[in-house]
Structure 1
């Protein structure tokens, strides 16, 4: 009877578009675990665990190491170093915007739930659906992007030791699919029994950062000149405008916050989520900025042959080799980096499945009755994990046909992530402008309120970041444009939009009524 009653309240909320704060508070207590709910995952993530997972997904310095090739061709050290500072400001604004809302409404749906809450009732259902679709596709693409780094590094190491070895597309494909299967199996059968492993990943990452950075700076000789590191703009892209090159090259620094919303989608598995999730967001940004900037500066000083770095299939490995003059040390560093990547892959798969599960729980996607189930024994959304893995498998098959098309699929993860942040940020501005923010954000109970005008500024910068990503990350990185170097991100986003539209008219328009009230914290 209690379940039936809450469902009626959810329907009333969805139809009226108004928030009943008393009902909201009551249902919040239910979702926080004071009432048993067999459809909900267990809350077994403490503060350190949620911070560790949020960090392991972004792993900012490791993200820089894995994607150095982009910045090297698009501005060189200037784009990398100054880009990290710019992305810290914009990414920090995104984190603050989301942390403020998450402290009131910590929910696995995250951005699309908040969009439903903040939007005018006439637009709530449609806007929240599209925000959710953008976010789901973004996380599937992000998961594939994380997985592809593993075979990329592994095979770069093989080429490093065996120069005669030629990396074939099918080699990458097989390792990619093996990692996809292994990490999904781990998430289904072992994740809930080994939550502590994420803490290990967090500390391993920080230790590796210190060891690699200090070793390279101490051992490298000669070092790169300060003029080259801080002043010389490298443009090998073919673009005549250095400004365009710099902005397109920001996608590499932007990887320091790839998957920034990871902690948000694990809110319903976190104890005291209203406090823990905002702290996870802020700590990820702060620690990520410091480690990424220090690592980037250290690496830029540690190599002396820029052309060799530019020609390397994995620039970080070449930098480490030049810095230490030891193949064994460079190999060890790359093995550690690839080990850290495993934690990022696991966290991304975990987070993506929780978002898919939440979207299905709200009847927004086909096969929702299956995708919304939590397995009674394993305590995870098994069908959502399998569905996401199937999508990643298909993306891997695209790689067999065209690595360029696959890279476009992966790069859309960053673009769609930023767009999903912009939905609630824009609606927060709308609520502030209309003086109705208190109706949906009970500030008397908020634990992370942005004061002194910080909130509106953070919201505006979040929207700016989304527009920057949407425009410049879709441009080709090099000119002249050919079939092999074209940036197909626009086409990929268009296909994802068509799939979302088909799902809307084929299923969601009849079933989706917006997030159910009892699931909005």
Structure 2
């Protein structure tokens, strides 16, 4: 064993050891302390690390995808104030994750944290549960993002050929799934390139998201011939949702989904730490800055677009030019009413499409690193394959696995979009459960033993952690509530079915098999 390298058992007793205690001259020292041999190329700085999380959060993606939901359940009031509410509580989750990331900067991220914080007796099960919720949640994010891009491309084609009212071409569900597969293929090819190339794309993605937000939030309401009043944007509550729900509180709660769905994916900064310089500092910075910047630019984007909203029922109607795709109709209508042509609106949708493309690309990057780390610890079938890296130090097989799984997760859309929604609901609830588990262990089992890294919340760590855990518990219940009445097979909210099914499979596989052989994170050092 190299001089200065400690055994993983010793690392467990001292969760964070000052780097000054060891004679290491490179950024891999903390990773070695945690028990892992460095295999990935450490090229990312704090900006690049931030860019991956920021481009996965991608306010242009989340808001565009679920703008219909925001308009339906509460409208401007829910979107304007709900965004800030979700943003505040999301920041508490991010701060707690950043504190843990500073102590354990590994690609495994959440599942590794759970293992270290749950204690020796609970470590294997805590790691198993967190890891599977995390990786399936990430696959669901990639699925929902790339499928949303395929749907938006369908709408762009529809509008480009005349729209619903002009005999435009509307692609079938089979064409949409083929487009989805093509997008995943391109993302897999890009993610097969070196980390320096991915870093370059990631920074472009971050810049595109910021510039795109400010361009559209100014351009759309400026071009629109009819604009909403300030009173409408900040006080109008849409209770006429047509879903049989009359309680304003209930409606407000359902409308929060748009904001909370958007503000996910920032665990990417943790999964990229083995490729980040000064990871115990820059990983936490990436998480916090990605959330903070997203909250600000996302709110600005929401306000700008909502000032161009004047007729909510028409925007949600399947009879409009965009076939009921609300934000596409807003863009198209703004230019068509002023210039007699909606081409400018289609170009604006193209700006959004590029942002969604980058979002899916970065999401697959995060997926592959999680699969690489999880299989490195033997948790996945055929683990020896998924943690192999190529000459460019990229986990190539994990990349293509992520693409394949994300394609398969979209296939239920061919039968029913309701079934597809059940699958991708894991992207919000499932992923947030994975976020909350290590935080829960941090404020309970590891309350007195956790030793923080360079970034920490000090005496406020426990309080912030409990707020984060309670928020995730709350949205898990709220987003599982029925979204329409009467409840039928077409209106049932399948979120509890999907998330409950994942929980059942994860726990049952543990009881039947994994408890006999999975021991949690294991060292791969040659000791």
State the TM-score, normalizing by the size of structure 1. Answer: 0.90
2:392 aligned residue (378, 396, 403): 378
Q: How far apart are 1:194 and its partner, in Å?
A: 4.6
| 8 Å CA contact 1:138, 1:412 repeated in 2 | yes
| 8 Å CA contact 1:60, 1:255 repeated in 2 | no
In structure 2, C-alpha distance between the alignment counterparts of 1:97 and 1:370, rounded to whole Å: 33
Is there any run of 5+ residues in structure 1 with no aligned partner, and where? none
Taking the TM superposition and a 5 Å limit, the aligned residue runs for 1:309-458 are 309-311=315-317, 312-324=323-335, 325=337, 326-375=341-390, 377-430=391-444, 436-437=448-449, 440-441=450-451, 443=452, 446-451=453-458, 453-458=459-464
In structure 1, C-alpha distance between the alignment counterparts of 2:357 and 2:17, rounded to whole Å: 43
Paired residue total: 504
Structure 1, 53-62 or 279-288: larger mean CA deviation: 53-62
Taking the TM superposition and a 5 Å limit, the aligned residue runs for 1:37-186 are 40-161=39-160, 162=162, 163=164, 164=167, 165-186=169-190
Q: Do residues 289 (structure 1) and 289 (structure 2) align?
A: no
Give the direction of change, closer, same or farther, for the CA distance of 1:484–1:21 in structure 2 (3 Å limit). closer
Q: How far apart are 1:321 and its partner, in Å?
A: 2.7
Give the direction of change, closer, same or farther, for the CA distance of 1:503–1:357 in structure 2 (3 Å limit). farther
Give the direction of change, closer, same or farther, for the CA distance of 1:173–1:64 in structure 2 (3 Å limit). same
In structure 2, C-alpha distance between the alignment counterparts of 1:265 and 1:200, rounded to whole Å: 20
Query: CA deviation digits over 1:67-100, x for unaligned, max 9?
Result: 2011111111111111101011110001110111
In structure 1, C-alpha distance between the alignment counterparts of 2:515 and 2:100, rounded to whole Å: 27
In structure 1, C-alpha distance between the alignment counterparts of 2:522 and 2:325, rounded to whole Å: 46
Q: How far apart are 1:490 and its partner, in Å?
A: 1.7
Give the direction of change, closer, same or farther, for the CA distance of 1:146–1:309 in structure 2 (3 Å limit). same
Q: How far apart are 1:271 and its partner, in Å?
A: 0.8
State the TM-score, normalizing by the size of structure 2. Answer: 0.89
Q: Paired residue for 1:247?
A: 253
Is there any run of 5+ residues in structure 2 with no aligned partner, and where? 318-322
In structure 2, C-alpha distance between the alignment counterparts of 1:423 and 1:414, rounded to whole Å: 15
What SS does the corresponding residue of 2:487 show, helix, strand or coil? coil
Q: How far apart are 1:191 and its partner, in Å?
A: 5.5
Query: CA deviation digits over 1:97-128, x for unaligned, max 9?
Result: 01111122111111111111111322122112
| 8 Å CA contact 2:115, 2:127 repeated in 1 | yes
More helix by share: 1
In structure 1, C-alpha distance between the alignment counterparts of 2:381 and 2:514, rounded to whole Å: 8
In structure 2, C-alpha distance between the alignment counterparts of 1:199 and 1:129, rounded to whole Å: 33
Give the direction of change, closer, same or farther, for the CA distance of 1:106–1:38 in structure 2 (3 Å limit). closer
Give the direction of change, closer, same or farther, for the CA distance of 1:87–1:471 in structure 2 (3 Å limit). same
In structure 2, C-alpha distance between the alignment counterparts of 1:352 and 1:181, rounded to whole Å: 15
Alignment RMSD: 2.7
Q: Paired residue for 1:202?
A: 206
| 8 Å CA contact 1:302, 1:322 repeated in 2 | no
Give the direction of change, closer, same or farther, for the CA distance of 1:13–1:488 in structure 2 (3 Å limit). farther
Taking the TM superposition and a 5 Å limit, the aligned residue runs for 1:475-494 are 475-494=481-500
In structure 2, C-alpha distance between the alignment counterparts of 1:447 and 1:336, rounded to whole Å: 38
Q: How far apart are 1:38 and its partner, in Å?
A: 7.1
Structure 1, 218-227 or 395-404: larger mean CA deviation: 218-227
Q: How far apart are 1:242 and its partner, in Å?
A: 1.8
In structure 2, C-alpha distance between the alignment counterparts of 1:110 and 1:465, rounded to whole Å: 21
Q: How far apart are 1:178 and its partner, in Å?
A: 1.3
In structure 2, C-alpha distance between the alignment counterparts of 1:246 and 1:397, rounded to whole Å: 31
| 8 Å CA contact 1:61, 1:291 repeated in 2 | no
In structure 1, C-alpha distance between the alignment counterparts of 2:324 and 2:209, rounded to whole Å: 23
What SS does the corresponding residue of 1:239 show, helix, strand or coil? coil
Q: How far apart are 1:23 and its partner, in Å?
A: 11
Give the direction of change, closer, same or farther, for the CA distance of 1:71–1:187 in structure 2 (3 Å limit). same
Give the direction of change, closer, same or farther, for the CA distance of 1:190–1:380 in structure 2 (3 Å limit). closer
Structure 1, 507-516 or 175-184: larger mean CA deviation: 507-516
